[in-house]
Amino acid sequence: MKAKRILALILVICMFTVGCSCNDSKESELNNLKDIMDSVDDGVSLWWDSSNANNENGDQSTSKAPTEEVTTEEPTTEEPTTEEPTTEEPTTQEPTTQETTTQEPTTEEPTTQKPVINDEGKTPYEAHGRLSVSGTKLVDKYGNPYQLKGASTHGISWFPQYVSYDTFKYLRDAFGVNVVRIAMYTAEYAGYCSGGNKEELKKLVKNGVDAATDLGLYVIVDWHILSDCNPHTNKSEAINFFREMSSLYKDYDNIIYEICNEPNGGTSWSDIKSYANEVIPVIRSNDPNAIIVVGTPTWSQDVDQASYDKITGYDNIMYALHYYAATHKQWLRDKAQTAINNGLALFVTEFSICDASGNGGLDINEANRWLEFLNNNGISFVGWNLSNKGESSAMFQTWTNKISGFDDSELSEWAKWLRDAIKK
């Protein structure tokens, strides 16, 4: 308000100075001055208010702009803040997804991995070479303990189809076997010594040996006495057979000879030992180093008897121990332990987890006890049998005619147990 008064006073002074040139009375001049000042004051006020109003409007516009900009920018600022976690979530999840992807091959390893192939991509034979016996252990070419784990054919006269490259390859890749056993019966059903075609049977044996060798597997040639009880019954045939086989395979380092499967019927260890002392030199004349497995009394159970009177004069001799878990229990493991304590090298060239007939229920608990015993002692083992026969010890279901590429539904419960036992 002071500024308005000063401006009005200046205007009045100017007008009064001009008015003094007229000879008006003082009173009249004072009245005129008052009216002029009021008039000027009103005009100045009107001008001032108008001008100030314009300035105030301008100030509001200026002050609102940043307010609006802040308001406008706030959502913009908040949007990325809100989106950042959303953007980060997939980023956080990607490693999780990748970890799952990375883990998938690990999960598939028991299926795609070939346990028989070592880290260098070698077959069992390529990796371990010629085997030998050191004390009670089977060892590889480096002198390291090596455990053979595999499967046996049934009698090759009954089920010749499984003596094949495809079957052995399936067993190597799906089960992880490193050995197969070729069981040639001597007396039963068209056996080698009971009317069977000798040349056809030998051809089957040779086909099996060749297939196993091509796959880098070890192979057992089994002279499968059973109902002929005493190995002396067909000793001359055995000598001729092993002379021919050892001559044929003298340069093979993966062959194991089992010279009498299961002596029985009261056959003594003395009888078995005398038979072995006639057959072993025949094999040694051709192959000085091959592993030779000798059967023991009572269907290859009385290994303790053999341990008190071992075969001497030859290296790389092992002794057969056979069991069927539902029948043979701790008492037979005790016999085996005695034999080991006495320095015998044992080889379980035949076993299953049903009863001794090859049929009946499976005893899983006893089977696991046996497996622990074998693994703790480094004893090699071969499961019975490769067939689709209608019995518990057959590995394949009766309704499947495949010889390889089996899925789980086509395997018996025993076969699945054996597969898991080998992979352990």
- The reply to whether 410 belongs to the active site is no
* Element (DSSP H or E) covering residue 136: none
Catalytic residue among 350, 372, 391, 413: 350
- The reply to whether 262 belongs to the active site is yes
* Element (DSSP H or E) covering residue 269: helix 269-286
* Token pair 């208010």 in the structure block, residue: 49
Sorted by sequence, the CB contacts under 8 Å of residue 324 that are 6+ apart come out as: 351, 352, 353, 354, 355, 356, 357, 358, 393
Candidates 246, 233, 240, 227; CA nearest to 199 is 240
Query: CA–CA separation, 87 vs 90, rounded Å?
Result: 6
CA distances in angstroms from 9 to 6, 30, 38, 50, 68, listed in the order given? 5, 14, 10, 20, 44
254 close to 218: Cβ distance less than 8 angstroms? yes
403 close to 166: Cβ distance less than 8 angstroms? yes
- Total length of the chain: 424
Catalytic residue among 258, 262, 278, 372: 262
* Element (DSSP H or E) covering residue 134: strand 132-134
Per the DSSP assignment, residues forming a β-bridge with 289 are none
* Coil vs helix vs strand at 309: coil
Candidates 369, 380, 417, 375; CA nearest to 395 is 417
Query: CA–CA separation, 27 vs 110, rounded Å?
Result: 126
Query: CA–CA separation, 72 vs 60, rounded Å?
Result: 18
Candidates 128, 145, 129; CA nearest to 137 is 145
Query: CA–CA separation, 66 vs 395, rounded Å?
Result: 86
Q: Which residues are catalytic?
A: 262, 350
